[in-house]
Structure 1
Amino acid sequence: MRDRSSVILIQEGKVALIKRVFEGDMYYVFPGGGVDPGETPEQAARREAFEELGVEVEVQALVAVVEHNGTQFFFSAQLLSGEIGTGRGEEFTNLKRDRGTYEPMWIDIAQLQQVNVKPREVAEKV
């Protein structure tokens, strides 16, 4: 399986998540994706934040490592520039991809316990 890398971006009491609807299920994930060959997990997290959210971030500390279909790395990150919702990754441009919907948004940290965030163990650390 392919390793993945994600960012945990928190600003003003809210965390950036991707709302997914896929095969009838609705859930939220931390912005991220696959680590490309020759790329570090930190580089992948930065690239994925730009592709999925439309923002430039500074990747900071490794917060969690989850083993599920490969290794998943979760990094705290600081917003440098850009606007959530302006990402232009394959999720938004390849209409034939058929992987459900992707909707970037800010969620109040206090709401994380009430919504279906995957992986749950990372949401609990936030």
Structure 2
Amino acid sequence: MNNIKIIYDTMNDLPENIDGKYDIDMLPTTIIFQGKEYKAGVDIDNDEFYKLLRDNKEIPTTSQVTYMTFKETFEKYVKEGKKVLYMAGSSKGSGTYQSAMLAKNDIESDDIY
């Protein structure tokens, strides 16, 4: 499995710390709460996020993973000779899937799934 790189975004409900245990990359969405930006799973964990929700009346917003983040990440692993398997969240719930597809289509490789 050394030639396969698995990538997911934070819309997937994978257990925390699975990425380090299995060398899987997580691409974080951005959570915007009270004017401050957090990278989900990086700057803030689930417990901290839910505490913010309980302690405040404001509802946070999110920002999708960008096209450039996908393009750079996909290119990095393709150049290393890896097949990339991206596990996407729903295309109905976020523009993240569309960003990933645009990046995939702009890379000359048949090794991105």
TM-score with structure 2 setting the length: 0.26
Q: Which has the larger radius of gyration?
A: 2
TM-score with structure 1 setting the length: 0.24
Q: Which has the higher strand share?
A: 1
